[in-house]
Amino acid sequence: MSGTGDAARRHDAVRIIEAKRDGRELDDDEVDWIVDGFTRGTVVAEQMSALAMAIYFRGMSDREISRWTAAMVRSGSRLDLTGLSRGGRAVPTVDKHSTGGVGDAITLVLTPLLATWDVAVPQLSGRGLGHTGGTLDKLEAIPGWRAELSGDEMRRIMSDSGAVICAAGADLAPADRALYALRDVTGTVPSIPMIAASIMSKKIAEGTGALVLDVKFGSGAFMTSRTDAEELARVMVGIGTAAGVRTSALVTAMHTPLGRAVGNAVEVAECLEILGGGGPADMVDLTCALAEVALAAVGISDDPRARLSDGRAMDSYRTMISVQGGDPDAELPRAANVEQVRAPAAGRITWDALGVGRASWLAGAGRSAPGEAVDHAAGVLLHRVEGDEVRAGEVIASVYAGDAGRIASALGELGAALDFSDPGFAPARGPAGAVVRRLRGW
């Protein structure tokens, strides 16, 4: 790795910051040097913050982004999943990543569903912050389930059951973790090059052979613009392909919540419905669309829907939960306080995804800062979703909270997220989770 010897004599952080400030493309050696120096502490936080701001305004070329991502991968360890087998037979690895949205619990269904084929799914997930929920928070609503696993445990579980969902270790792409903390407090988070490198560095470091990305746009997504989401998807597919990972992406809508449940335990319950062959159509459709793309990446052509309806996906889920200490038969947490929301008028209903997500957060389902506890029983359940025609006074949603003092603010936010139109109006934007573009890098 560069950072010593000739490279150390040629480079210094100020010159690299000035180069990017002035719009020059950084060469490979400069990228390697600055990321390595930041990881080792020889490039200080103030300098990396200045470079992040320069990148925010000047951007990066595709080559720079791929090199930046590779340097962040090299800043830590990389899981070696080669030779992974199930039943004595070598199997390919495939993973999925979503850029996050309201009601997006697809991972809880897709991971065990994929494991019903001869593949292994190393799903490293995170916790929620703000209005978007975290996969680990949702699964921790299940009594006994644990997120922290060693690399050896991951390999053993995938060999036994085919699927694992767990927390990413601190040694995977540590440069990204440190850089994100700086971006978070310097207003440089919404940079497509740095978002793409952040996501892909962790996914490449986890060692998967194939990856499908769900890149969302709309009010409830990180990227509100479809154009920005498509560009982010293009860049990430390019990074993955350059790194030798078979990468594809679906760009999907998130203007209204996905499914009906927004929270932790309420989303787990909804996923159980889908695994049992039912559940909201938009959740089922997106799960199956992602499954088809993921399977195609490893040379499998099959119908995912059949395995949701015949019980194989549910059996896989129960095994996945059990091997990580969870009790798949345990009762999920129930909120002490429930408040129903009734339609103030007749009409065809719409929900704004951001507002519903914030209502769930205010009810206690999310956190304002890393490390805060969440109320696993808190959340919002939509009884009527976008496009449904409702009558005045009809129950259209329920708010759940352990702390009664949180109900009023959650109801206020939910009310602001609600809109009506004339009964004859049909929404033109399409359902949540609808695929608007597919990108494939192989």
How far apart are alpha carbons 195 and 188 in whole angstroms? 10
The CA-to-CA distance between both ends of the chain, in Å, stands at 28
Per the annotation, the verdict on 138 as an active-site residue is no
Pairing of strands 418-421, 347-351: antiparallel
Integer angstrom CA distances of residue 31 from 47, 70, 364: 14, 10, 41
Q: Which of 378, 370, 373 is nearest to 414 (CA)?
A: 378
Q: How many CB atoms lie within 10 A of CB 57?
A: 11
At 63, list the tokens. 């080559």
Side-chain half-sphere exposure of 59, counting CA atoms within 13 A: 7
Instruction: State which amino acid sits at residue 366.
Output: G
Sheet holding 94-98, edge to edge: 94-98, 210-217, 246-253, 435-440
183 given a catalytic annotation: yes
> Mapping DSSP to helix (H, G, I), strand (E, B) and coil, where does residue 193 land?
helix
Catalytic residue, candidates 11, 74, 96, 97:
97
As given in the structure block, the two tokens for residue 91 are 């199997």
Q: Is 264 helix (H, G, I), strand (E, B) or coil?
A: coil
Token couple for 75: 């800043």
Q: E strands of 150-205, at which residues?
A: 163-167
202 catalytic residue (yes or no): yes
Which of 138, 183, 203, 318 is catalytic? The answer is 183
Set 67, 74, 138, 202: catalytic member: 202
Written as six digits, the tokens of 146 are 């644990």
Residue in 161, 198, 248, 360 annotated catalytic: 198
Backbone CA torsion sign across 5, 7, 11, 12:
negative
Q: Are 375 and 363 in contact (CB under 8 A)?
A: yes
97 tagged catalytic: yes
* CA–CA distance, 236 with 96 (Å, rounded to integer): 13
Q: Which of 36, 104, 137, 176 is catalytic?
A: 176
**Do 249 and 213 meet the contact criterion of CB atoms below 8 Å apart?**
yes
How far is residue 397's CA from residue 378's CA, in Å, rounded to a whole number? 13
Enzyme catalytic residues? 97, 176, 183, 198, 202
